[in-house]
């Protein structure tokens, strides 16, 4: 009886201790959340403030910092985190291989501490309490993808909105650069965006003939049949996404006596990506045209889906898929010169050396500088369709002088996105939640956010390069 009584008291005391700790923690989180929101503490400084001012010890401060940033996002947007998980130990630990001396960064939950190269058991690297590092800067959750908070960006023009940036940038300083860039662009009034109303998709049919005459007969038969065929394609396959076939190209080529004919169908959609449906519709068209040619006695050697012509290419100016979007910021030249600590001529030279470099190396100017990292961070975070996001991440950075003002902008000529979870592409609950936090409900909003965030990142990185503050020698 007495033993039971003691046990009860012990449990009760233990509980009180936990509750006290919780309330201390709650107070600290509330304080840091408030300071981040007011701008007193920059989001990425939360960790150091927790150690230096709140007396927390590593690695516990990583979790508290992430919780505080999550709270900021919740308060800014009015939504709650339900799916983007925050692991118990949201940090990495440093290890070293005793054989090859390589240093390893391994997430704390990872129990596999063998060297991938040689199989030796890794040894802790660094003093206890010093071995820890963040999973990603500005980390807010996620264990397969490390999500970061990257500030808010205000856009106006074709879309009027403030997006809250939750990106899967991963390790590296990119999310900080984006945060700082967003802060600068917002201070200049926000980013003006132009977003095309429609997104395009294309799919090409290839026919091979023995001679030019037979090919001409095919062109004539196909053109006669086209109005009926288009209507059928739209009704059967494109109507769900309000899509249409807006143009059909007939292109003649040849190879050593073989006569080729491309019949390329171009489609467009307001809210959808449309790529999959276009492919299916064109597959249907192929069956119908094959039959039509047979009916008319037109002899072809081969009929096939010939994707080389339809712009189903990876980053390239010929990529016919997607939607045009641009985002730009305007400011007085004098203000830019002050900000960059250099002259406007230095900016123009900086742009030209990149333009030449890219043109000479790639043969065309579609620059993918920092955008090559920023755009995937948005696709990875939101997991919209397409998943192989490099299909669409071409980017062009431009600078214009208008009177006394400087215009700095980025354009994404063929940004593809199906932003809803539908037959067009399943989006997992975590990513749907991230889309909601960001404020993205449609493909056009996705395009506006992507261009504006890319602009913010590029704007900031250009400033850092001009000031000589990026990749600086320590000697
Ligand atoms: Zn090793």
Ligand 1 centroid to Cα of residue 104, in Å, is 10
Residue 470, CA distances (Å) to 111, 461, 464 in order? 36, 8, 6
Q: What integer pLDDT is reported at residue 6 of this predicted model?
A: 44
Q: What sign does the dihedral 372-374-375-380 (CA atoms) show? A: positive
Q: How far is CA 210 from CA 215, 226, 258, in A?
A: 8, 23, 6
Cis peptide before 30 (omega within 30 of 0): no
Cα dist from 299 to 79, 187, 265, 428, whole Å: 62, 66, 22, 48
Q: CA 411 to CA 402: how far, in whole Å?
A: 18
pLDDT (0 to 100) of residue 35: 96
What is the pLDDT at residue 283? 97
Q: What is the pLDDT of residue 474?
A: 75
Residue 130 CA to ligand 1 center (angstroms) comes to: 22
Tokens standing for residue 61 = 């401060």
> How remote is the CA of residue 122 from the centroid of ligand 1, in Å?
8
Ligand 1 centroid distance, CA of 58 (Å): 27
What's the confidence (pLDDT) of residue 2?
Answer: 44
Distance 355 CA to ligand 1 centre (A): 42
In the block, tokens 């909003």 appear at 445
> Ligand 1 mean position to 110 CA, how many Å?
17
**Mean pLDDT, the chain cut into blocks of 10 residues (475 residues total):** 44 52 85 95 95 93 97 97 97 97 96 96 92 95 94 98 95 87 97 96 96 98 98 96 95 97 96 92 98 97 93 72 95 97 96 90 78 91 87 85 97 89 92 97 95 96 92 79
Kind and range of the H or E element at 153? strand 147-157
Expressed in angstroms and rounded, the spacing between residue 121 Cα and the centre of ligand 1 is 8
Residue tagged 């980053």 (tokens): 315
Ligand 1: centre distance to CA 171 (Å) = 23
Expressed in angstroms and rounded, the spacing between residue 96 Cα and the centre of ligand 1 is 8
Instruction: Find out whether the peptide bond into 53 is cis, omega within 30 degrees of 0.
Output: no
Ligand 1 centroid to residue 95 C-alpha, Å? 11
Do residues 421 and 427 lie in contact, with contact meaning Cβ atoms separated by under 8 Å? yes
Tokens standing for residue 446: 């996705």
Output the CA 105–ligand 1 centroid distance in Å.
Answer: 13
């Amino acid at each position: 009886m007495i033993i039971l009584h003691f046990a009860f008291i012990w449990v009760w005391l233990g509980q009180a201790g936990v509750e006290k700790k919780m309330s201390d923690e709650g107070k600290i989180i509330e304080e840091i959340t408030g300071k981040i929101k007011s701008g007193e503490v920059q989001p990425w400084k939360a960790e150091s403030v927790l150690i230096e001012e709140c007396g927390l010890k590593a690695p516990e401060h990583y979790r508290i910092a992430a919780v505080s940033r999550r709270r900021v996002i919740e308060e800014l947007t009015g939504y709650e985190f339900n799916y983007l998980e925050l692991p118990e130990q949201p940090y990495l630990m440093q290890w070293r291989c005793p054989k090859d001396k390589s240093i390893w960064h391994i997430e704390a939950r990872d129990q596999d501490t063998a060297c991938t190269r040689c199989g030796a058991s890794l040894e802790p690297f660094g003093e206890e309490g010093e071995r820890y590092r963040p999973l990603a800067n500005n980390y807010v959750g996620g264990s397969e993808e490390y999500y970061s908070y990257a500030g808010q960006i205000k856009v106006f023009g074709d879309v009027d909105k403030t997006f809250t940036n939750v990106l899967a940038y991963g390790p590296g300083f990119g999310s900080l650069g984006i945060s700082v860039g967003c802060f600068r662009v917002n201070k200049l009034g926000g980013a003006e965006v132009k977003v095309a109303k429609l997104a395009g998709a294309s799919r090409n049919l290839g026919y091979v003939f023995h001679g030019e005459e037979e090919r001409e007969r095919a062109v004539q038969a196909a053109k006669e049949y086209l109005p009926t065929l288009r209507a059928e394609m739209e009704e059967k396959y494109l109507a769900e996404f309000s899509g249409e076939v807006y143009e059909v190209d007939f292109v003649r080529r040849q190879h050593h006596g073989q006569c080729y004919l491309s019949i390329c169908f171009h489609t467009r959609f307001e809210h959808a990506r449309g790529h999959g449906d276009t492919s299916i519709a064109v597959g249907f068209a192929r069956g119908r045209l094959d039959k039509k040619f047979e009916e008319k006695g037109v002899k072809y050697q081969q009929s096939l889906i010939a994707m080389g012509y339809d712009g189903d290419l990876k980053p390239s100016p010929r990529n016919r898929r997607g939607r045009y979007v641009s985002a730009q910021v305007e400011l007085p030249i004098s203000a830019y010169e002050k900000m960059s600590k250099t002259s406007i001529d230095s900016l123009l030279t900086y742009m030209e050396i990149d333009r030449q470099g890219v043109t000479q190396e790639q043969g065309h100017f579609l620059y993918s500088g920092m955008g090559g990292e920023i755009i995937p961070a948005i696709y990875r975070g939101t997991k919209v369709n397409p998943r192989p996001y490099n299909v669409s991440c071409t980017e062009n950075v431009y600078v214009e002088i208008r009177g006394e003002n400087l215009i700095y902008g980025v354009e994404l000529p063929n940004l593809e996105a199906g932003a809803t979870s539908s037959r067009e592409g399943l989006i997992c609950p975590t990513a749907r939640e991230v889309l909601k936090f960001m404020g993205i409900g449609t493909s056009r909003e996705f395009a506006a956010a992507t261009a504006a965030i890319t602009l913010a990142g590029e704007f900031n990185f250009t400033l850092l390069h001009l000031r000589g503050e990026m990749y600086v020698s320590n000697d």
